[in-house]
Amino acid sequence: MASLLCNARIQLTETLEKMQQGTLMRKVKSKSWKKQRFFKLQDDCMTIWYQSKRTGKIESAFSISDVETVREGHQSEVLQSLAEEFPPERCFTIVFYGRRGNLDLIAGTEEEAQCWVQGLRQLIEVATSMDQRERIDQWIRDWFQKADKNKDGRMNFKEVQRLLKMMNVDMNEDHALRLFQAADKSESGTLEGEEFVLFYKALTEREEVQSLFQEFSEDGKKLTLLELVDFLRQEQLEEEGTEELAMELIDKYEPSETARARHVLSADGFLMYLCSPEGSIFNPQHRALWQDMTQPLCHYFISSSHNTYLIEDQIRGQSSIEGYIRALKRGCRCLEVDCWDGPNGEPIVYHGHTFTSKIPFREVVSTLGKYAFQASDFPVILSLENHCSMEQQEVLAQQLKDILGEQLLTATTDGRVPTQLPSPEELKHKILLKGKKIGRLEDTLDGPGDEVPDVSDDDNGAEAEEERRRMKDRESLAQALSDCVVYCKNVSFRGFQEARNHSRPSEISSLSEAKARKLIRDAGNEFVRHNTWQLTRIYPSGMRTDSSNYSPQEMWNAGCQIVALNFQTAGMEMDLCDGLFNQNGHCGYVLKPPFMRDEGTLFNPSDPSTWQGPGPVTLTIQVISGQQLPKVANSKDGAIIDPLVRVEIHGVPADQAHQETKYIENNGELVVWGPTVLVPALSPTRACSALTGFNPHWDETLQFQLHVPQLALVRFVVEDYDKTSRNDFVGQFTLAFANIKPGYRHIHLLSKDGTGIPPSSLFVHIRITEPPGPEQD
């Protein structure tokens, strides 16, 4: 069974063998909570569990695929608080994907710590470099480990039945026994090794894919190179270099060396392609940096976080540098920091006048300097909420300069007064401070304006008013901190006309969500025009004490660039944010459509008469099937989900829409079959093995009209239907319409906090129909 249990790419080194023997370490949650736990790497080399030393009870287990990275030393607030008690050589932090809390550990010796740090890093590298087939093999191993209760490397029928329930499979006992007996080639009454693989293949047989394969295969056994080219052109709408693409897919996904040598694709290879990044609904070319990055900053949507320091709610939540690390690793490019006077002359960061915990400003800046450009090379904007005294403002400025050094932008890129904002390309690896500034940017460039200028009656008091503001700022703002603000000077919003009269691209206004909505409603086109030349930041209502979010879509519809969300709060709003910024190299900048970059634009998101173009685009989605859908968290043992799929369109008001498939009951009966399938290449088939929750079939077609597809996001949601209460969330995937690939595609589902849940997916067919162009004479 060892061949099944241990990943073939893992070399069992002395380090991994020691991890398999287990190590006693301290698990740390706070300065006072330090308890000994026994940590052990399992035989599959991909699972770690730990147990209490006192009770011997297994507390928890996690998969290596859940681990993002390992940090050595005192690289968490908890371990920093214990720096005097435990040396850094014995300390390390395991960081998980998503919003799961970190695991801080203290080993008994430096050697034990190094063993686990190096071993974990080796295993993480293997996990992150797995291809689709290896991920599925690992998934099989994970399930085998869970089901093999007596750990003898075999599974009897009772263990198989338990496995089916764990996997969310509702199958009658007779059918399960037939699959079991068919796979038990040795007739031993148990499954082991390749027998278990046979059982898994029978369990997950994809009839709908086999039907599609045979549609294009003359002999029903393989796709020749020309047959694969036909499929790619006719169904996947691949246009250029199709023969070269077909060759690449065969070389990459065909498991048989003989078939590869003959340039043919087997049914297994065809399925591997459809489940791969090339077979995904998300255009793989748009994963990389694909947009023009030389336009002014205001021409981009910018991934932005509100109250970045919080990892819980705004009243009693914990303030943590982890909030900054997580946001930056997700590609966030605008972070918020609330600064207040702290003890010993050191400014602190927290949500003022609440019970949230506090962190030193110095630590935030150090974290920013370290992580700012790990996920993206493009500029970071630090939005400073300054509540400090003059003395501690001087400290703020000094710490920013000392810690960030050359990263901190303290002058314009060319030393001149800007007529437009610089581009992300020009500002690569720079950190811009957003905050109040004494006087105008041109005063800084021309030399300090110490004297009050003469003001004539013809100036209508505008200059005098500006000077009064300048004098007031001097009384409350330290010059050193003011000098750190260059392109993002905070100004109060006094209307679009006044902003245009001053015409200073380096100024920025922050608006509450309610104020922004009013402006969109009352002056939608003016708002869009304003955002073509100046930055606008939107922030959540102060009433959102639970750190809930507003929909960012309505703000993006008006061209607002910095739409700040509570990154710590999962939900539809953050799904939209991830969906928009999941493209363009995950760099945190997405270029706005051309009609939102033109200062003379007529576009108003609420007024269809201002939209240019021949007419709406039709998006047709055939929801065919689901694969390996997970059980709902905290569901009862044996409970099987009743899955349905909802497709949501988020865009301008006229495009907002959603449609649902029927739900499939756990007895295998589809409540109502959907309408006639519009795509002729695939006839509707029932899942003969009745894998209702696990591999459900819908075969339903949904259709949408998109008037402004350039702003549309499409969200696919799988839910467990509940007739007595709210449906339970199963998984989702969101992407910009511009990133959709047509044809037969898999949608790889994400969990509530945006992390992958492989191999859970939906299989769909996508058709995009453009409106007819103007008739030719």
Nearest Cα to Cα of residue 141 among 5, 3, 10, 1: 5
Tell me, letter by letter, the H, E, C secondary structure of 332-397: CCEEEEEEECCHHHCCEECCCCCCCCCEEHHHHHHHHHHHCCCCCCCCEEEEEEECCCHHHHHHHH
Asked if 453 and 481 count as a contact pair (C-beta separation under 8 A), the reply is no
Helical spans, DSSP H, in 586-726: none
Cα diameter, the chain: 103
- The residue type found at 484 is C
Report phi then psi at 657, rounded to 5. -165, 160
The CA distance from 375 to 568, in Å, is: 18
Is residue 351 annotated as a catalytic residue, yes or no?
Answer: yes
Computed from CA positions of residues 518, 524, 530, 532, in that sequence, does the dihedral angle turn out positive or negative? positive
The span from the CA of 362 to the CA of 354, in Å, is 21
| Parallel/antiparallel/unpaired status of strands 380-386 and 431-435 | parallel
175 is catalytic: no
* Block residue for tokens 């949601």: 717
In the block, which residue shows the tokens 């998984």?
731
User: Are residues 92 and 67 in contact, defined by beta-carbon separation less than 8 angstroms?
Assistant: no
Q: 370 burial class (0-12, 13-18, 19+ CB within 10 angstroms)?
A: middle
d(CA 298, CA 504): 12
Return the amino acid letter for 174: D
Scored b (16 or more CB within 10 A) or e, 64-77 reads bbbbbebbebbbbb
C-alpha 754/C-alpha 392 separation (Å) is 38
DSSP 214: H
Q: Which of 74, 286, 299, 306 is catalytic?
A: 306
Q: How many helices (H) and strands (E) does the chain have?
A: 23, 30
Residues in CB range of 771: below 8 A, 6 or more apart: 613, 614, 615, 616, 617
User: How far apart, in whole angstroms, are the C-alpha atoms of residue 133 and residue 124?
Assistant: 17
Contact 620, 769 (CB under 8 A): yes
Q: Are strands 348-349 and 265-266 parallel, antiparallel or unpaired?
A: unpaired
CB 487 within 8 A of CB 426: no
CA distance 485 to 435: 6
Q: What angle do CA 710, 758, 281 make, to 5 degrees?
A: 25
Give the sign of the dihedral formed by CA 386, CA 390, CA 391, CA 397: positive
351, 530, 650, 746: the active-site residue: 351
CA-to-CA separations, 229 to 218, 238, 239, in angstroms, rounded = 14, 9, 10
Here the tokens at position 151 are 């750990």
Q: What are the residue numbers of the active site?
A: 306, 351
